[in-house]
Amino acid sequence: MTDILLLLGVALCAISLPLAVIALVQTQPPRGAAIVFVLGIIVMFAGAWMDQRPFGLESFKQSWERVVGGGDAADSPISTPAPAADPAVTAPATGTTTGTTTGTSTGTPSGQ
């Protein structure tokens, strides 16, 4: 949904340019073009607000690739969680254990 909103906002802003030129050629104020342009910006920012990616040109490129290329939102690197690290694989192989204590603490002084 965010991809469609981003691309729709860009399309509305792009459509506002010819509307402005046509209105100026007809010597009329470009009110319709201004309304379409503002609406395009609002839709773009609404899509960017709903998206987890940082807002920039790269997000538009990725949205275009997913919408036109038929990619799924699950293909997005933002929406897929990173694989959990296995502690057995990431533990150092030095022969020493980390995080162990030599004594026990019960919260009471010894001898009581």
Query: pLDDT tens digits, residue range 97-106?
Result: 555 556 555 6
Q: Residue 91's CB: how many other CB atoms inside 10 A?
A: 10
Domain of residue 45, residue span: 2-68
Q: Is residue 18 part of a domain?
A: yes
pTM of the model: 0.59
- H/E run at residue 41: helix 31-50
Q: Is the pLDDT of residue 13 over 90?
A: yes
Q: Is residue 29 part of a domain?
A: yes
Number of domains in the chain: 1
Q: Is residue 94 part of a domain?
A: no
Q: Is residue 107 part of a domain?
A: no
Per-residue pLDDT at 21? 96
Q: Is residue 86 part of a domain?
A: no
